[in-house]
Amino acid sequence: MSDSTAGRRRQAARNDETILAAAREVFIADAKAPMAAVAERAGVGMSALYRRYTGKDDLLRTLCHDGLRLYIAEAERAAAEPDGWTAFAAFLGAVVDADVHSLTVHLAGTFRPTAEMYADAVVAGERTAALFDRVRGALREGVTVDDVSMLLEMCAAIRLPDPARTMELRRRYLALLLDGLRVDGLLPGPPPTGAEITRRWRQGAAEAGG
């Protein structure tokens, strides 16, 4: 084999990446897209998909897990930042930009999560909490780390046909939310509970709304 540029092996290796990237794009744009859409976007046939993944579940799980790992990686990268608020804001910005939410929460519930994925979800929660603790003093009373999940959800709801414009607007409203977090005064209603947040990771959570 060595390095023949157009070898079958080479093509296959390149397809590994191509397919994953195509799947990410397609499922970020529409969580319920058909497998054929992924094949078309990647410019490959169905066989190329099913040779690599045992089924749609498998592909979705992979994508979701990758998103989770990205989330953790961004949290750890941000943690290195000396200023707590900068770290917190940069982390949220990165997560919003990468549309991690569409890759994780919106895909979870579609398949049975791995034990490993569940463990990583726990880690993600811990990393978030660590960043959150560093800014707690700057935030208004009564705000909890579980509120952060909801803020991310809200940002993910901003969705326009143009991805670049979507990112721009999400940043705009993320800034608005972050400013809101530092205003004085109690917010109405109890914050979300941990159970309300993690429920999404259990299988069977029906998609609602469209």
Stretch that binds DNA, among 54-62, 126-134, 157-165, 167-175 (CB under 7 A): 54-62
With contacts defined by CB under 8 A, name the span among 14-22, 51-59, 71-79, 148-156 that binds a second copy. Answer: 148-156
The least CB distance from residue 10 to a second copy, in Å, is 34
Q: Is 29 in the site for DNA (CB under 7 A)?
A: no
Q: Which two tokens stand for residue 197?
A: 């947040």
In angstroms, rounded to a whole number, what is the distance separating the alpha carbons of residues 147 and 128?
11
- Segment contacting DNA by CB under 7 A, of 3-11, 73-81, 84-92, 202-210: 3-11
Within 8 A by CB and 6+ apart from 45, the residues are 39
Q: Which amino acid is at 129?
A: A
70 lies in the binding site for DNA (CB under 7 A): no
Between CA 39 and CA 47 the distance in angstroms is 9
Q: Across the chain, which distance is largest between two alpha carbons, in Å?
A: 67
Residues shown for the chain: 210
Residues in the site for a second copy, rule: CB under 8 A? Answer: 29-32, 102, 106, 150-151, 153-161, 165, 168-169, 171-173, 175-183, 185, 187-192, 196, 199, 206-210
